[in-house]
Amino acid sequence: MGRAFEYRKATKLKRWGHMAKTFTRLGKQIAIAVKAGGPEPENNPALRSVVAVCKRENMPKDNIERAIKNAMGKDQSDYKSVTYEGYGPHGVAVFVDTLTDNTTRTVADVRSVFNKFSGNMGTTGSLSFLFDHKCVFTFKQKPGMDMDDFVLEMIDYGMDEEYDIDEEEGTITIYGEPTSYNEIQKKLEADGFEDVGGEFTYIPNDTKEVTPEQRETIEKMVAKLEEFDDVQTVYTNLAPEA
């Protein structure tokens, strides 16, 4: 498996927290997709993608339908995607992805946690050299497909050469530059791949080793950040536990 997949798999539970938090995060993504392209997945590529991710995360069908219905309400808030970044304890880099309808509240919440753990928030883009920002798609593998031919074709649509196959789940995970998201999604759907779910992620170029005691402190900081409803995902360059 590739570096990106290993890192995402090792840190998934710690980044996404409990199931209820995951459903809240996905509900906001549904709201944004519905507002941008309507409530019908067959006519809204962004919504199709989010729904596929919801299914992969075992979000109940009723929850998905309720989130779509709520997103059509007159009082639906306008969410903005805002990323905060800085250094936590022991020099570990921290990215905090949020969806918020009140940036004043959100930045205050995030800053309070950085301060509590003796961290320092930086300006937007200050840690970009430490992470690769990627779009990532996971979808069902077709029986007997030739991966070499698949990769050669998909590179023209912005896919990276690196990919991963999860034999247990029967899925393929591919990566690309964020600007290639729409082209990759359209091509995968046009080629008949099932349950195409796309997201964005930050993958560290190099991970930082820490002691068990230091890891405990950093994980407490991440858990505190994830308590806020506005926080979608917390990424760090903390090396996965051996």
Per-residue pLDDT tens over the stretch 121-154: 999 888 888 999 999 999 999 999 999 999 999 9
Query: What pLDDT sits at residue 149?
Result: 95
* Structural domain includes residue 64: yes
Residue 136 CB burial class (10 angstroms; 0-12, 13-18, ≥19): buried
Tokens representing 69? Answer: 């219905």
The closest of 85, 29, 77, 91 to 56, measured between CA atoms, is 29
* Structural domain includes residue 147: no
* Structural domain includes residue 99: no
> What backbone phi and psi angles, to 5 degrees, belong to 131?
-130, 150
**Dist. CA 63–CA 79, nearest whole Å:** 19
pLDDT tens track for 43-92 = 899 999 999 999 988 899 999 999 998 888 755 567 888 999 999 999 99
* Structural domain includes residue 214: no
* Structural domain includes residue 203: no
The whole domain housing 46 covers: 3-71
pLDDT tens track for 175-221 = 999 999 999 999 999 999 988 999 888 989 889 999 999 999 999 99
* Structural domain includes residue 81: no
Give the CATH number, domain containing residue 41: 1.10.10.200
Per-residue exposure over 33-56, b if at least 16 CB sit within 10 Å of its own CB, e if not: bbbeeebebeebbbbbbbbbbbee
Residues with Cβ < 8 Å from 41, sequence gap 6 or more? 47, 48, 51
* Total structural domains within the chain: 1
* Structural domain includes residue 177: no
* Structural domain includes residue 55: yes
Q: Is the pTM of this model over 0.85?
A: no
The angle formed by the CA atoms of residues 78, 82 and 85, to the nearest 5 degrees, is: 165
